[in-house]
Structure 1
Amino acid sequence: MQTNAKPIVSIDTIVNHTPTSFGLDDIEVISEHANETLLTVREQMLLPHPKKHAPVFTTTQIAALCRIERKKVNYYWEREELGLPQGTSLPRTREFTLTEAREWVKKVGPFSPRPPGVKGKKIAIGNFKGGVTKTTSAMTLAQGLSLFGRRVLLVDLDPQASLSALNGVIADSEVTEDQTILPLIYGEQSDLEYAVQPTYWDGIDLIPASAALFSAEFYLPFKQSQESGFRFWDVLNAGLEPLLDRYDAIIIDTPPALSYVTINAFMAADGLIVPIPPNALDYASSTQFWSLFTDLGRSMKNVVPNLNKRFDFIHVLLTKVDSSQIATNKVREWITRSYDSLVLPIEIPTTTVTTTASMEFGTVYDISKYEGSNKTYQRAREAYDRFAEMIDQQLTALWAVESQSVAEAA
């Protein structure tokens, strides 16, 4: 007699089963066990707190963020009319929370605010190969921009949900389908306001992902086949548009594949950043990325002849750079020759700092005080700072041009 009851099988039973064979129900057991273990590991890594907490800043670090001398910090916090946060007094310095640090940057720092009437920009981080630091690049760019006083929205489109994990949110265990972009994809919501949630990091909000996002790859082409007027490539763009007044930057982390969701991200983006590690396999894979992207463009033009998609910028970012490797210089040369001015004059190094931070579900920005070599930490931190600053300068320049256009039209 057949039964629909799900067999109760422990992970030990599956692993020790001889001869080795697995049913579909066994896959679910493995998945559940892996999720439970991940939650435990995360809590151990983040002890004494089960959730992520933002770093704190010293007086010296506040001065560095604001691009002023340390003694000026003392001068500014005595000026009551500025209303600057006073921080917490310690024996030899003061300690500031991230929220307080960002307030200092906004009031004292040199960064120009986004002009009134000008919308924020959408930036997609893309590459069709995994392991090239797309997610880390998205997260550190958001953190770096936030330390310039910007407000940032992170959009996780990868069913693996690594970006959500970096924000302390574990997919499937803590994210329901209704908290992802799926209600927008299904037409149940007209914009993504419903999915925005705050994170542990002041100035950064998140739209999380989960494995359920895979269903979008079936639904979008199905709906396109049923409704000739449906614009499958414009769903994400339409959902993000109402949020552009609130955020200076919306950073989109894409899956490592040319999927329907990835197409939505690229068609929505104002700017595109492609991380490429300088090793032979990643370099070769990157050429396939551009070939497939070219095919995509041609296909889109066939579907929509009057489509006029343009990017404000496209950048190639060298990541995971290990200068001790003999091949690095040669592959760097290949990448520079291939992409010329698209290559940013910034390299993100591979260091023990980034390795340790990633093991703790974090980035270099999550570290309040590094226990290892300060020189090593500074090298990693400065690279990410320069990356964020270069993108911020580009955003500021774009805003200035658009502000001028708004003024002329008025």
Structure 2
Amino acid sequence: EHYPPDAVKSLRSFSLAEAAYFLGVTSSNIKKLHLEGKGPTPATSASGRRSYTAEQMLELRQYLDRHGRADYKKYVPHRRGGEELQVIAVVNFKGGSGKTTTAAHLAQHLALTGHRVLAIDLDPQASLSALHGIQPELDRNPSLYEALRYDGSKKPISEVVRRTNFPGLDIIPANLELQEYEYETPLAASDKSSAEGRMFFTRITDALKEVDHDYDVVVIDCPPQLGYLTLTALAASTAVLITIHPQMLDVMSMSQFLLMLGGVLQSISGAGADVRLKWFRYLVTRYEPTDGPQAQMVGFMQSLFPKQMLKSPMVKSTAISDAGITNQTLYEVERAQFTRATYDRALEALNAVNEEIAALVHQAWGRR
């Protein structure tokens, strides 16, 4: 009843302070533009509070970019000449590490800060799709499998892309049919008369070439296993983000994952894959700073991987889990729905993580 099959997900308006944050300017700067009649007209409450829709923020970004100082930063951060499409694979060997939550918030933050983003749900469980209002058990949406399959029904990737409720963010949803790729790939690889199966790891790379100029960043939510889907995604990636819960069993599991991953990447690189990783980072998720053993484990990981750990961990928060009950992210829910301190603490941690990743993307492009 809450999610009828024909429902279309909407997006709330953003406060003046939120708009200023995503645009990278001060609130007084935006307020001044409004008073001068420049840019879009925000909604104003009875108490005088201004709010902007995501579309208006995009319009305001373009206005600032056109009328900003020539020697100042650009407000529209799209790729420029010679800058490569950045493909970020979010991976973990086991479930429950916050992988999908991380991928969803990262893709939305990049879109809200002006990037053109394509999110790919590669997990047959389709949690990322559900967070964006697509229900695989009700909606008959094609998945990336349609662009990866080995038979004559293969489609261009542009035919499986869908818009989301976030301007600048498109998604390729998932469904159970993705699992077919895991069964078909070894059969195709054993067919000596065809090179398609032997070069399976290039299929996402090749599919993305069709939409290369439409996006700045691709965020792939990989399944929690090192199967053919994950390997094909890693071969297409320019960056890998490994989510890790700071507990001993999870760290041991990650160690096994990395050993397997290193061996497999060497094998597919030797078979002709162009492994183009610019960076990889560990992101500590569901972190509780007051938990002594967790804090010890984070310190242990930071001493082992000082250059590979993101400086900002993602804290465990009831705000994120409560938002997830209604298939929403923290960027979608209203602050008033939560205890202010709880919401602000979660949002501060989330923004810090996403800012750090966005900086790595820009660094890969050669920008400061």
TM-score (norm 1): 0.80
1:238-277 equivalence runs, <5 A:
238-277=206-245
Letter in 1 for 2:42: G
CA distance in structure 2 between the aligned counterparts of 1:328 and 1:347, rounded to whole angstroms? 12
Letter in 1 for 2:258: W
CA distance in structure 1 between the aligned counterparts of 2:90 and 2:13, rounded to whole angstroms? 28
1:302-341 equivalence runs, <5 A:
302=270, 304=271, 306-341=272-307
CA RMSD of aligned residues (A): 2.2
Which residue, out of 112, 122, 128, partners 2:87?
Answer: 122
Structure 1 or 2: larger helix share? 1
SS of the counterpart of 1:315? strand
CA distance in structure 2 between the aligned counterparts of 1:73 and 1:308, rounded to whole angstroms? 45
SS of the counterpart of 1:245? helix
User: Structure 2 vs 1, CA of residues 335 and 106 (structure 1 numbering), >3 Å: closer, same or farther?
Assistant: farther
| Percentage of pairs with the same residue | 26
CA distance in structure 2 between the aligned counterparts of 1:107 and 1:346, rounded to whole angstroms? 32
In structure 2, the residue matched to 1:289 is: 257
In structure 1, the residue matched to 2:177 is: 212
Q: CA deviation at 1:132?
A: 0.5
SS of the counterpart of 2:190? helix
In structure 1, the residue matched to 2:166 is: 201
In structure 2, the residue matched to 1:221 is: 186
CA distance in structure 2 between the aligned counterparts of 1:222 and 1:62, rounded to whole angstroms? 51
Letter in 2 for 1:164: S
CA distance in structure 1 between the aligned counterparts of 2:194 and 2:267, rounded to whole angstroms? 16
SS of the counterpart of 1:128? coil
Determine whether 1:384 maps to 2:367.
Answer: no
Letter in 2 for 1:171: P
Q: CA deviation at 1:297?
A: 2.1
Which residue, out of 91, 95, 102, partners 2:58?
Answer: 102
Letter in 1 for 2:238: D
Retained in 2: the 8 A contact 1:144–1:384? no
Further displaced range: 98-107 or 344-353: 98-107
In structure 2, the residue matched to 1:136 is: 101
Which residue, out of 147, 170, 176, partners 1:184?
Answer: 147
SS of the counterpart of 2:342? helix
CA distance in structure 2 between the aligned counterparts of 1:324 and 1:142, rounded to whole angstroms? 29
CA distance in structure 2 between the aligned counterparts of 1:353 and 1:229, rounded to whole angstroms? 49
Gaps of 5+ in 2: 66-72
Q: Residues 84-106 of structure 1, C-alpha deviation per residue, up to 9 Å, x if partnerless?
A: 21122321222211111233234
Q: CA deviation at 1:135?
A: 0.5
CA distance in structure 1 between the aligned counterparts of 2:81 and 2:63, rounded to whole angstroms? 17
Aligned residues: 352
In structure 2, the residue matched to 1:58 is: 15
Q: CA deviation at 1:79?
A: 4.6
Letter in 1 for 2:220: I
Letter in 1 for 2:333: I
In structure 1, the residue matched to 2:70 is: none
SS of the counterpart of 1:122? strand
Letter in 1 for 2:298: R
Determine whether 1:398 maps to 2:361.
Answer: no
1:346-361 equivalence runs, <5 A:
346-361=312-327
CA distance in structure 1 between the aligned counterparts of 2:101 and 2:131, rounded to whole angstroms? 8
Q: CA deviation at 1:41?
A: 5.9
Q: Residues 237-296 of structure 1, C-alpha deviation per residue, up to 9 Å, x if partnerless?
A: 110122121111110000000111111000000110001011122111111110110221
Further displaced range: 128-137 or 167-176: 167-176
Q: Residues 7-44 of structure 1, C-alpha deviation per residue, up to 9 Å, x if partnerless?
A: xxxxxxxxxxxxxxxxxxxxxxxxxxxxxxxxx4656x
Determine whether 1:74 maps to 2:31.
Answer: yes
TM-score (norm 2): 0.89
User: Structure 2 vs 1, CA of residues 108 and 279 (structure 1 numbering), >3 Å: closer, same or farther?
Assistant: farther
CA distance in structure 2 between the aligned counterparts of 1:292 and 1:175, rounded to whole angstroms? 35
CA distance in structure 2 between the aligned counterparts of 1:175 and 1:343, rounded to whole angstroms? 39
Letter in 2 for 1:200: N
Determine whether 1:236 maps to 2:204.
Answer: yes
Letter in 1 for 2:173: P
SS of the counterpart of 1:241? helix
Retained in 2: the 8 A contact 1:336–1:343? yes
Further displaced range: 122-131 or 86-95: 86-95
Q: CA deviation at 1:65?
A: 2.6
Determine whether 1:162 maps to 2:130.
Answer: no
SS of the counterpart of 1:342? coil
Determine whether 1:279 maps to 2:247.
Answer: yes
Q: CA deviation at 1:70?
A: 2.4
In structure 1, the residue matched to 2:68 is: none
CA distance in structure 2 between the aligned counterparts of 1:389 and 1:61, rounded to whole angstroms? 15
